[in-house]
A and B are shown apart, each in its own frame.
Chain A
């Protein structure tokens, strides 16, 4: 299987290099919070922040389920989600269209996410608030660079992942 490489028809020339998950690995370091959009069975959207998106392999990411219960309720009836991650070095944003695959409540992936949540909780003084309930694994169906003014202003700048430049 190959990594998802689906360009956005709206992203213009900047997306033609079609980033793969490994190309945007900086986005998964948990430095800049991500966002996740889901929808209920009757089409009501929901949007919330994520402290971190974890890359599992070239086709999958994992999200920590702590207390975003509405998100989980939505995914139980509509297993599709849209996540936006931000590169902490360039502040380029990437849009990931996801399909929920499975939930893990033990094992190496769960422990990896649990250690991460515990570290974030310790840093923010929210040990009593942040507690990992499960590691939820999603297949990435689409991955696009979100176009910004800087991409149009400097089309000949040295491209990074997704055709963007690193300042």
Chain B
């Protein structure tokens, strides 16, 4: 069976400082929305390492019970968008490298939004969470989410 592998432009979009939104679900099917605060594609392209707010308590509880997760990344300017669905493998305390990645991601988003919309950087910075945890999720499905008639189309697997 073909499995999706993330590389190329999709990897570049996922790892960029852009909008990163996350959905999880509890054992009753109740969805929960939050944000991710940086994503890295794990070498091999079949897993993602993403940072989530430590105060996203319902999200973290859902990951501990169902493990189901969906992640959509959208380019601030072009609205190019991709959604990845999978299951969380691990949730761990962040490392020092994660913290550096988190700070770089936030700085990149702040800069991009300031340049795009003129929103003061101090205002954008108010979204920043206290701290983050690091999750690793599988890449089970990948969809094109760019607004338009092709939104929702499955991105073809790259290799077997």
Contacts and interface: CB of A to CB of B under 8 A. Distances in A.
Contacts of A48: 21, 72, 83, 145
A82 B149 contact: no
B157 interface: no
A39 B23 contact: yes
B16 interface: no
Interface in A115-167: 126, 129-130, 146-150, 152, 167
Contact of B29 (A12, A78, A86, A146): A78
A25 interface: no
Interface stretch (B39-47, B91-99, B125-133): B125-133
Interface in A30-64: 33, 35-39, 41, 43-49
Contacts of B52: none
A6 B32 CA distance: 16
> Chain A binding site: helix, strand, loop or mixed by DSSP?
mixed
Contact-residue bracket for chain B: 35 or more
A130 B119 CA distance: 25
Contacts of B112: none
B70 A46 contact: yes
Contact of B130 (A46, A82, A152): A152
A83 to B, nearest CB: 7
A10 B122 contact: no
Interface in A86-100: 86, 89-93, 95, 97
B148 interface: yes
A39 B74 CA distance: 20
28 contacts: A10-B55, A10-B58, A12-B55, A35-B72, A37-B23, A39-B29, A39-B68, A41-B29, A43-B66, A43-B68, A44-B85, A45-B23, A47-B33, A48-B145, A49-B81, A67-B147, A68-B151, A78-B29, A78-B31, A82-B31, A84-B21, A84-B34, A90-B126, A91-B127, A93-B127, A129-B148, A129-B149, A148-B126
Given A45-B69, A67-B151, 13 more contacts: A39-B30, A46-B23, A68-B151, A78-B31, A80-B31, A126-B148, A129-B148, A147-B130, A148-B129, A149-B128, A149-B129, A150-B125, A167-B120
